[in-house]
Structure 1
Amino acid sequence: MTDDNGVRESAGNIFEDLNFPDAEAHLLKAQLVSRMQDTISDRKLSQSEAGRITGVSQPDISRMLKGQFRDVSVERIMRMLTRLGCDVDITVQQRGREPFAPIHLEALPA
């Protein structure tokens, strides 16, 4: 919806607002990469150390943290998070019903 000044209210997903294809998947990747960046920062890791732990090159880590992750799958990002010591839970729920038991991916030992 656009107001009188030509300002449009966000749909809640910047990628949808910008008409990106696969906007929902891109938002999910952005959220996961944000958690990855938080974890790297909390652990005080360099990008090289994060790359060694995750099995990804430092330049690839740098690109992802700068928002260039279109070609990286959600599964791969989740795997990187587990290698960085994060547990990842996936919850599936039918609308209006109780969620199924979460799917749990445990952090891999360092």
Structure 2
Amino acid sequence: MKIRLIDGIEVQRGSDNVFADLGLPDADKLKIKTGLVIEIRKAMSNGGLTQQEAAKRMGITQPKVSDMMRGDFTNLSERKLMDCLTRLGYDIEIKVRPAKAEVGHLMLAAA
């Protein structure tokens, strides 16, 4: 990565995955889960749902929704987060195609 100097501070452009840039384990998984939680938050906001109402629709407890809204979603799998989104009225499409590089990657694209 190219490093630039801006106002005496070294600046380096990151990748498209801040978790990988920070060297966190399971960075791809964290990126996907974060993207799903962002979409859940949008769905709740767009639907005017309280945490209690959203919890009932998603089939989880209100404390789990509260944890999710505060950024703690370690207790929820990617599959469960996708299930929550579908219960909130969203379609999820998974595409599989050959990678351009030797090793492929996971990506979440929200409309």
State the TM-score bracket (shorter-chain normalisation).
0.7 to 0.9
Deviations along 1:69-104, whole A, 9 cap, x unmatched?
A: 1231110000111111111111111125xxxxxxxx
- Give ranges in structure 1 of 5+ residues lacking alignment: 97-110
Q: Aligned pair 1:71/2:75, yes or no? A: yes
Q: Distance in 1 between matches of 2:29 and 2:40?
A: 16
TM norm structure 1: 0.79
> Is the Cα–Cα contact under 8 Å of residues 26 and 70 in structure 1 kept in the other structure?
no
| Contiguous gaps of at least 5 residues in structure 2 | 101-111
Aligned to 2:93, the other structure's residue is in SS state strand
SS in structure 2 of the partner of residue 7 of structure 1: strand
Structure-2-length-normalised TM-score: 0.79
Q: Could you report, residue by residue, the CA deviation over 1:41-85 in whole angstroms, capped at 9, with x for unpaired residues? A: 111000110001111111111111222112311100001111111
Aligned residue pairs, count: 96
Amino acid at match of 1:10: G
Matches within 5 A, 1:7-86: 7-86=11-90
Residue in structure 2 matched with residue 104 of structure 1 by the alignment: none
* Deviant stretches of 4+, over 4 Å: none
